[in-house]
Structure 1
């Protein structure tokens, strides 16, 4: 720990609510706030200024400590969760957690680097990249549209080439952080996008599952993809390509006969708690709400191989459709594997029989010739048939073809809004 990082006050400073803009302005603001927060001079609660007014108000309430609550020692930054599985909560990140996570991740990836952020500023991956770059005074840039509009591959690639040129000129490696839908659009866009991505030391993809076909497409283009798993409570990804980072514990709680149970996580990057209470722990590990199993990482199943985490969705992802149990995550994966789909989300909606019906919202890939969308009726019929062939008749979703999916401020799909729109 450097002298500048040593806490200088014995009492915790008051919590400051800071509205963070999108894009490069937001990253610059966070870079300026981080040193004082790590030194114990301020505790900063972050609110995305680029979110809708109602969402901003909800997040502001979430990151404001409850009256009379005690923040953990070393509290530095309060970051909101995405709200993708319910109302957002304020996660208290401590200086020790932030520094420990940066150290572990750099150790796993061979040292610090310059960064280009495709994700919005008020997210754990963006904060983690800033913390990692700070140790080497490496540049961190944001794609100009992060948090402020739909994803534009052309502007991202222009920003990527500028960042790569600066990093290469300084003798630094460079990394970027994306979500799967952004990666898919980049690989589809042409104009040398895949070659530009291949110049990065690694492309970290998180925020949700990355389909095997997308991963294979990236590998074929020479992109060094790292699939990450984590959440705000773990300060972003703590599992890379299924393997826990150094010091990270992964356990499966109450596994079924197939070894599938709730994923529990622990390690140096675990948050100090929430603004309204402690983390939910089981055996001292974070209860994620996600389901998965541990399998040997070696292809031959060698018993001495490290164990790899294989995720299978959330605990509440199995719903009843027409009297049959259907895994919503499996349906979403099957829909996302279709070559005509650029992005998708599948949501369960209450049905009159007391069960559910599944609705797939899909963004089609533009036709290669003139940019026009593929025929919506043909695409819907093909999707339903493909899903039914793999998962059975009950799993076939209703299909809604849309130009874009609604996003939460952190960049994840707003599933609740889709449910509300479909329920009207």
Structure 2
């Protein structure tokens, strides 16, 4: 077994290390962000002083949005399979613009696709429009999180329209945002996937070639060539989620006309006062409020309720915060009163991780 090499989590650092593991000349590596706290999480998850598991090319650290970060083992074959299947779905290889951090799987796979396609990735080191203008021709692709798409629809709409496809991942894409992109003539394709699946493996509800999706009592199961090999030095956790070739995700879904629809996480259903409450359903109702710009609903430990339902709400610019009673009344118009949040927190913006996901841990720390 070889040792794990730590490399700078910069586009140049990751690209060079990726080129080595893809052509067989390099050694397994883990990209390290410059932020000290993020770097410490990588060290804890990657454990560079220990030998690397056989077949590993890259160790990526999960974002830890709702739990302990883990080191995810990705093989050379999984990386290439993901890139190849993505190009096949999008219409062929092309040039990629990188607007994401390369030490997360979404950014890393943009660089992998570039290497597989034999094209030079374009870095976002100025405005999105200026970066798009540096694309050299042929098919043009990029990938980003929903927050970036919403921002660029306001500031760089023409540049967005110049791409053959824009993969949207890292978090659920709200329906209003999908409609805004479609109305603007932007080809935005919502993707479902995670670090353990080598980035997005289901595009627009349809699995990529080589990927299969199934459900086990509503839990999403994934099987295919892009799957990770396991968790770094965590064989017990690996055995828990990888069974007979299937990865048991923490997400719930349903199949509608053969397409996967993600409806929330397994832990999105909490028991509050003896009542089962689906947090994502409450969250979706809040997002229907005409003054709500963004919202997330979480469960927090509570001595009286067991788990209390807590809403974090961002209102439209210039608007007054929504009071607890107003929020509860709005939710109760279409959902059981027992589902209405017991606590409402108004925020200027939801805290986000570098991966583009809501920092749930930070939100819950503020209410405990």
Q: TM-score, normalised by structure 2?
A: 0.90
Aligned length in residues: 362
> In the alignment, which residue of structure 2 is the partner of 1:172?
138
What is the rounded CA distance, in whole Å, between the counterparts of 1:346 and 1:211 in structure 2? 15
Which residue matches 2:311?
360
1:59 aligns to 2:42 (yes or no) = yes
Aligned match of 2:200: 237
- Aligned match of 1:405: 350
| Aligned residue number for residue 224 of structure 2 | 267
SS in structure 2 at match of 1:207: coil
Aligned to 2:27: 42
The 5-angstrom pairing of residues 27-106 of structure 1 reads 27-38=11-22, 39-50=24-35, 53-64=36-47, 67=50, 71-73=53-55, 75-106=56-87
Give, in whole Å, the separation in 2 of the partners of 1:388 and 1:124.
39
C-alpha RMSD over aligned residues? 2.2
Match of 1:182 in 2: 148
1:14 partnered with 2:3: yes
How far apart are the structure 1 equivalents of 2:8 and 2:92?
Answer: 31
**Alignment partner of 2:137: what SS?**
coil
Secondary structure of the structure 1 residue equivalent to 2:141: strand
Q: Deviations over 1:255-279 (max 9, x none)?
A: 3xxxxx1111011111121112343
Q: Distance in 1 between matches of 2:31 and 2:290?
A: 38
Aligned to 1:113: 94
Cα gap change, 1:84/1:66 in structure 2, threshold over 3 Å: closer, same or farther? farther
Please give the secondary structure, in 2, of the residue aligned with 1:408.
coil
Picking from 302, 306, 320, the partner of 1:351 is 302
| Cα-to-partner distance string for 1:116-169 (whole Å, 9 max, x where unaligned) | 33332211111111111112332323434xxxxxxxxxx6xx2x22232222xx
Judge conservation of contact 2:3–2:52 (CA < 8 Å) in 1. Answer: no
Shift of 1:87: 0.6
Question: Distance between the aligned counterparts of 1:236 and 1:181, measured in 2?
Answer: 18
Q: 1:389 to 1:186 in 2, by over 3 A?
A: farther
Tell me the CA shift for residue 81 of structure 1. 0.9
Q: Report deviation, 1:115.
A: 2.3
* Equivalent position SS for 1:119: coil
Contact 1:66-1:275 within 8 A present in 2 as well: no
Alignment partner of 1:290 is 2:275: no
Q: 1:225 corresponds to which residue?
A: 188
How far apart are 1:316 and its partner, in Å? 1.3
Kindly indicate whether the alpha-carbon contact (under 8 Å) linking 2:223 and 2:246 is maintained by their aligned counterparts in 1: yes
* Residues 1:27 and 1:381: Cα distance change in structure 2 (over 3 Å): farther
Are the structure 2 counterparts of residues 399 and 120 from structure 1 closer, same or farther at C-alpha, using a change threshold of 3 Å?
A: farther
The CA distance in 1 between the partners of 2:244 and 2:171, in whole Å, is 26
Q: CA deviation at 1:400?
A: 1.8
Aligned partners of 1:72 and 1:272 also within 8 Å: no
What is the deviation of 1:58?
2.6
Give 2:234's match in structure 1, choosing from 270, 274, 277.
277
Deviations 1:43-90 (A, max 9, x none): 11122223xx344323211012684x66132x2111111112311111
Q: Which residue of 2 aligns with 1:148?
A: none
Aligned-partner SS, 2:281:
helix
1:131 alignment partner, one of 109, 112, 117: 112
TM-score, scaled relative to structure 1: 0.79
Aligned to 2:211: 248
Q: CA deviation at 1:341?
A: 3.6
d(CA) in 1 for partners of 2:117, 2:275: 54
Q: Give unpaired runs (5+ residues) of structure 2.
A: none
State the distance in 1 between where 2:101 and 2:288 align: 26
Shift of 1:40: 4.5
Go from structure 1 to structure 2 and tell me whether the alpha carbon gap of 1:333 and 1:116 turns closer, same or farther (over 3 Å shift). Answer: farther
- Choose the corresponding residue for 1:417, options 339, 362, 368: 362
SS in 1 for 2:333: helix
**Given the superposition, is the C-alpha separation of residues 341 and 47 from structure 1 closer, same or farther in structure 2, using an over 3 Å criterion?**
farther
Distance in 1 between residues matched to 2:243 and 2:76, nearest whole Å: 24
1:210-249 Cα distance to aligned partner (Å, 9 max, x none): 1222212221111111111111011110000111001101
What is the DSSP-based 3-state SS (H/G/I as helix, E as strand, rest coil) of the residue aligned with 1:41?
coil
Deviations 1:335-369 (A, max 9, x none): 33444344332221122214222222233333xxx
Q: Distance in 1 between matches of 2:184 and 2:326?
A: 27
Q: Distance in 2 between matches of 1:294 and 1:65?
A: 41
